[in-house]
Structure 1
Amino acid sequence: MKKHKTNPVISKFDSFATEASKAMGSTAVFFDCIDLGLTGPVFDYSETWQLIINTGTTIVTFLIQKAQNKNSLALQIKRNGINSLKLSQNSAHQNGLLLRLPKLNPGL
């Protein structure tokens, strides 16, 4: 597998996105969003209010999506490792490189 140089800016952004997505899932942030949504009538649903709501939603969605993509990639790498391990074990069994041990009888 190729080893890529890690860009420090991307690394910091990944770290930020992960931490932000964790924070966005908290109860306090949920209630803050509810409070912000309830301020609509106070500001008469002005264009500025709508801009703030839409911008915040877009940013949060992007950060959560970034963190989920990172988690999906890590999971796929783990699955690939397990599959290659299974393939190599099957190959070793087929080539007679591993001993097949009899199953033990627990009743004895």
Structure 2
Amino acid sequence: MERYFENFANATARVSGSAAAFLLCVVVVLVWAGSGPFFHFSETWQLVINTGTTIVTFLMVFLIQNTQNRDSEALQLKLDELIRSSQAENEFMGIEKLTDQELADLHKRCMASADRVHARLSRLAAERESRGLPGA
């Protein structure tokens, strides 16, 4: 059942994100708007579009969330594999599961490390320049 839903969610997301689906929705809205005078712009006429769009939006939220969750998980797994197979620090694997505070602390640590590297590069460039070496 789960696999069927995943396939359905993927297919629906692919179709609903197409130009044809957008144009179909534009046509539906234009037909609805054009029928307004025929129905004397009644409350029922308004209710038709409101109900239709509410139902579609409600259902699409779940389908889009499903595809986003799987895409996000797949991306995290790919990044974890790149980290694991490289010389990067393995502690970064799975950091998407950290709390906001833990992520903020890790960000501060990374920024401090980047600042140290930038300072070192600036010192090296200044030394090269003072010696008249190229590449400064």
TM-score normalized with structure 2 length: 0.52
Q: 2:76 aligned with 1:83, yes or no?
A: no
Query: Which of 4, 28, 40 lines up with 1:12 in the alignment?
Result: 4
CA contact (8 A) 1:40 1:49 kept: no
Task: Give the deviation of 1:62 after TM superposition.
Answer: 2.5
Unaligned runs of 5+ in 2: 91-136
Which amino acid is the alignment partner of residue 31 of structure 1? Answer: L
Which amino acid is the alignment partner of residue 69 of structure 1? Answer: N
* Structure 1 Cα separation of the partners of residues 24 and 71 of structure 2: 27
* Structure 1 Cα separation of the partners of residues 29 and 60 of structure 2: 15
* Structure 2 Cα separation of the partners of residues 34 and 58 of structure 1: 19
**Structure 1 residue ranges (4+ consecutive) displaced by more than 3 angstroms after TM superposition:** none
Which amino acid is the alignment partner of residue 7 of structure 2? Answer: S
* Structure 1 Cα separation of the partners of residues 54 and 24 of structure 2: 15
- Map 1:23-62 to 2 at 5 A: 23-38=15-30, 39-40=32-33, 42=35, 44=41, 45-62=45-62
Which amino acid is the alignment partner of residue 35 of structure 2? Answer: V
Give the stretch that moved more between structures: 15-24 or 36-45.
36-45
> Which structure exhibits the higher relative contact order, with contacts defined as CA atoms closer than 8 Å and separated by 6 or more residues?
1
CA contact (8 A) 1:21 1:64 kept: yes
3-state DSSP of counterpart to 1:51: helix
3-state DSSP of counterpart to 2:86: helix
Question: What is the match of residue 73 of structure 1?
Answer: 73
* Structure 2 Cα separation of the partners of residues 50 and 24 of structure 1: 19
Which amino acid is the alignment partner of residue 61 of structure 2? Answer: T
Q: How many residues align?
A: 81
3-state DSSP of counterpart to 2:35: coil
Task: Give the deviation of 1:41 after TM superposition.
Answer: 5.3
The structure richer in helix per residue is: 2
Q: Percent identity?
A: 26
Give the 3 Å change call, closer, same or farther, for CA 74–10 of structure 1 in structure 2.
same
Unaligned runs of 5+ in 1: 1-8, 91-108
